[in-house]
Amino acid sequence: MSELNYQTGFTTIQDLPKIDLHRHLEGSLRLQTLYEIALEHDLGLTVASLDQLRPHVQVMNDPAHHEAFLRKFEVLRHFYRSPETIYRLAYEAVADAAADNVKYLELRFSPQALSRVRGFALADVTDWVINAVQQASHDYDIDVGLIITLVRHDPLPQAYEVAEVALARFGKGIVGLDLAGNEVKFPSAPFAPLFKQAKAAGMGITVHAGEWASAQGVHEAVEELYADRIGHGIRAIENSQILRLVRERGVALEICLTSNLQTGVVHSLAHHPLTDMLDLGVKVTLNTDDPSVSDVTLTNEYAIAMNVLHVSYPLLRQMVLNAARAAFLPEEKRASLIDRFEQWLPPAFSDNGHTPFTTIPIP
């Protein structure tokens, strides 16, 4: 690829202003901080170095399967030891996103995951995260909205408690409601009343579906849970009617390339259906999912899209603008976000028509 031409002002993909709509706080924890927590507290882990901690909390030589991926979070929940620790982890997650030139971030988290081991109140945990994120947003000049995640495989009464906490803080740091967890074994139907209530209140709705289970989950998310966006959703490509539904409703897909490989959704990045969905006019966005668990940045994900899937700069720009248009923001603020990114990411090319970036290595 040619070097960046003078019209855009960026020389590498890392320089590019970015949007991440699908990033889990619990999968965005700084490893050095986790190591310090492990040394300070008895977590039942034998870790004499950062390298010894890594395989417990990061995908390394694990089988490409969603249950192996989820096991990392079973370990991570033991690190939320105090209000100060939770505040620090949330603050650092935003700082790390800003360091990767993410200018708008929607960070999702599960209060129940943060509170479970130490028995913190769900409302308190949520407020600690909101306060940390708002401070980091100010300190690092990054706009951040928080999404609260309900978990399919957690007890349903707890989901009702969490949803109540989310609704009480809508517009006060919280912008949306999410459903995540093991979609293979746990259906979404029991959660429908909660999402109906959230939708009526004006909250943004995103649902993990069409990732580990069939395209049918995408249909249920759109029709029964009122989803504005789908977390992953790539298996919608398997059903033309559901894919048409997604396209006609303007539902945005939150695609996470490396995560899809690590959980076995795709067997090769080269065969990921991202470009097919773009060709079919689906509103695709590109995101990290769990940057510390997957050991990626959004720069890495953009690089994979360009270098492996041969996504052109105009299509990359289109995905970023798709994300701006799908942001869980009031209409006026969303319009401002779109305008900023249209100015930051001009559709300009150099005279020879090459993509205006130098290549960067893919980890």
Per residue in 310-351, pLDDT tens?
999 999 999 999 999 999 999 999 999 999 999 999 885 544
Q: Which residues on neighbouring strands pair with residue 178, listed in sequence order?
A: 149, 206
- Segments of the chain with pLDDT less than 70: 1-10, 348-363
- The answer as to whether 344 is a domain residue is no
Domain assignment present for residue 79? The answer is: yes
Domain of 156 in residue numbering reads as: 18-330
Q: How many CB atoms lie within 10 A of CB 154?
A: 17
Residue 312 placed within a domain: yes
Beta strands in the chain (DSSP E): 18-24, 102-109, 143-151, 174-180, 204-209, 229-232, 252-255, 283-286
Q: What's the domain count of the chain?
A: 1
User: Which pLDDT score, from 0 to 100, does residue 9 have?
Assistant: 53
By the 8 A CB rule, do 233 and 209 touch? yes
What's the CATH code of the domain at 26? 3.20.20.140
What's the pLDDT at 316? 95
Alpha helix locations (H) across 235-284?
A: 240-249, 257-262, 274-279
Whether residue 350 is contained in a domain is answered as no
How much is the pLDDT for 290? 96
- 67 a catalytic residue: no
User: CA 286, CA 362: separation in Å to the nearest integer?
Assistant: 16
How confident is the prediction for the chain on average, in pLDDT? 91
pLDDT of 348 reads 57
Which among 26, 92, 211, 301 is annotated as catalytic? 211
What are 99's two structure tokens? 């360091």
- State whether the Cα torsion 105-111-115-121 is positive or negative: positive
With respect to residue 74, please indicate whether it lies within any of the assigned structural domains: yes
13 in a domain, yes or no?
Answer: no
In a domain, residue 341? The reply is: no
Render pLDDT for 134-161 as a digit per residue (tens, 0 to 9). 999 999 999 999 999 999 988 999 999 9
Residue 295's CB is within 10 A of a number of other CB atoms, namely 16
Examine residue 38 and state whether it is found in any structural domain, yes or no: yes
Global pTM value: 0.92
